[in-house]
Homo-oligomer: A and B are copies of this chain.
Amino acid sequence: MELKPVNACHDCPIRHSAVCAECDADELKVLERIKSYKTVPAGAHLAEAGREMEFLSSIISGCATMSRTLEDGRRQTVGLLLPSNFIGRPGRASSPYDVEAISEVTLCRFERKAFEDLVRSTPHIATRLMTMALDELDSAREWAVVLGRMSAREKVLSFLVRLARRNAAQMGQDAPEDALTLHLPLSREELADYLGLTIETTSRQFTALRKDGLIELPSNRDVHIPDFDRLAIEAGEDEDGGLIA
């Protein structure tokens, strides 16, 4: 994740996967005029439920979560935001969820009003946003199946499979390597909030998967998967491949 400072779009690591992916050179110039970069430390709040947002932004590097906390403290993470993901939406001033930086995050920001005008005048941005929204919709529904019907073990397995697929896709690979090591962007507690479990149950499942030889745990944040296909089968994969992240 070591990143040299980005100054221009043609240097940008998410140039071809973010909201600007379909833009041509002229459109990119307009974007370039209204964009600004910002790096925030882990723990920063990028949006708060109900609070007005001044900027819409793309994640260039780092990781953030989108979550809802109920008043009794229960919390559910509804999205894991990684590079190229978009925060905020045109046509609405506030996010319905809290968005929090989990690691240091570098953003490419657009002042909201200016971006909304741009969406109207630049079809390539509107169609790209539509595609991204539809992809995320599939992903959210996919996750609903996990939350609604899967056991704790399957939830953890599904998470690992999705993360591996997402990483592979970002590296331009078609499928994850046979054997690979994942770095977990989330702590056990953050993971539990994502999986709809408690931290204890999550931890127990990691231990159980280790004892079953499906994973190794070189550190708390690293998971080595000796045989990805076996993991995917255990996760309950029928369709070969499934959707990415």
- How many copies the complex holds: the figure is 2
Interface residues of A (CB under 8 A from B): 49-50, 66, 68, 70-71, 74-76, 78-79, 89, 91-92, 96-97, 119-120, 123, 126-127, 129-131, 133-134, 136-138, 140-145, 147-149, 195-196, 236, 238-239, 243
- Chain B residues with CB under 8 Å of A126's CB are 123, 126-127, 130
Q: Are B141 and A79 in contact (CB under 8 A)?
A: yes
How far is B127's CA from A123's CA once the two chains are assembled, in angstroms? 9
| A141/B141 in contact, CB under 8 A | no
A243 to B140, CA, bound (A): 16
Interchain CB contact (< 8 A) of A145 among B78, B91, B239 = B78
Contact B149 A74 (CB under 8 A): yes
Q: Kindly list 18 other residue pairs between chains A and B, CB separation below 8 angstroms, not including A70-B238, A96-B243.
A: A49-B239, A50-B239, A66-B141, A68-B141, A68-B145, A70-B145, A71-B236, A71-B238, A78-B141, A79-B141, A91-B131, A91-B134, A96-B138, A123-B123, A129-B130, A133-B137, A140-B140, A149-B196
**Chain B residues whose C-beta falls within 8 Å of the C-beta of A74 in the assembled complex:** 149
